[in-house]
Amino acid sequence: MFRRGRSDKVDILRGIPLFSRLSQRQLSAIANCADLSARREGAVLAKQGAQGLEAIIIVDGRARVEVDGKAIAELGPGDVVGEMSVIDGKPRSATVIAATPVSLLILHRRDFVSLLETVPGLQRKLLVTLCERVRQADQALID
């Protein structure tokens, strides 16, 4: 997996809901910035309270989201984590732990911010994703 080229990363990105409606050119721009990585089961992908230096896209595998040590969600392929901290510069709001071995695409803060400014449509898709998360959190408070 680590030897995949830009075209392979484009194919991966195309299958991720956040990026699914972007053009080939837009996907190529993101693929140029994204690094492929893998982590073992139990690896901490993001730590609550830490500075967020990258957004993480789960390509394969599962991860657990914890707030104050309590599991609140499970993530899988296509889910993006860490984007809030990358956008607003505030500490991570949750810890994310690999529940299985995971394959990831990593977008470092500098690149992620640049992509938000230069890839048309990405800002809107990200806003929709964040709104969905807020609505889910609101619903969880009601239930």
> What is the per-residue pLDDT for 3?
45
Q: pLDDT value at position 106?
A: 96
Write the CATH number of the domain with boundaries 6-142.
Answer: 2.60.120.10
Q: What is the predicted pLDDT for the residue at 25? A: 86
Per-residue pLDDT of the chain (143 residues; tens, 9 = 90+): 444 556 789 998 988 887 877 888 888 989 999 999 999 999 999 999 999 999 999 999 999 999 999 999 999 999 999 988 988 899 999 999 999 999 999 999 999 889 888 888 888 887 887 788 788 878 878 87
Tokens of 30: 């993101």
Contacts of 116 (CB under 8 A, 6+ apart): 87, 122, 123, 126
The full set of domain ranges for the chain reads 6-142
Phi-psi region of 2 (alpha: psi -120 to 50; beta: other; left: phi over 0): alpha
Q: What is the pLDDT of residue 2?
A: 45
The confidence score (pLDDT) of residue 5 equals 58
Nearest to 46 by CA among 101, 9, 13, 84: 84
pLDDT value for 142: 85
What backbone torsions phi and psi does residue 128 show, to the nearest 5 degrees?
Answer: -60, -45
* Token reading at 35: 């690094």
pTM of the model: 0.82
pLDDT of residue 116: 85
- Residue 57 per-residue DSSP state: E
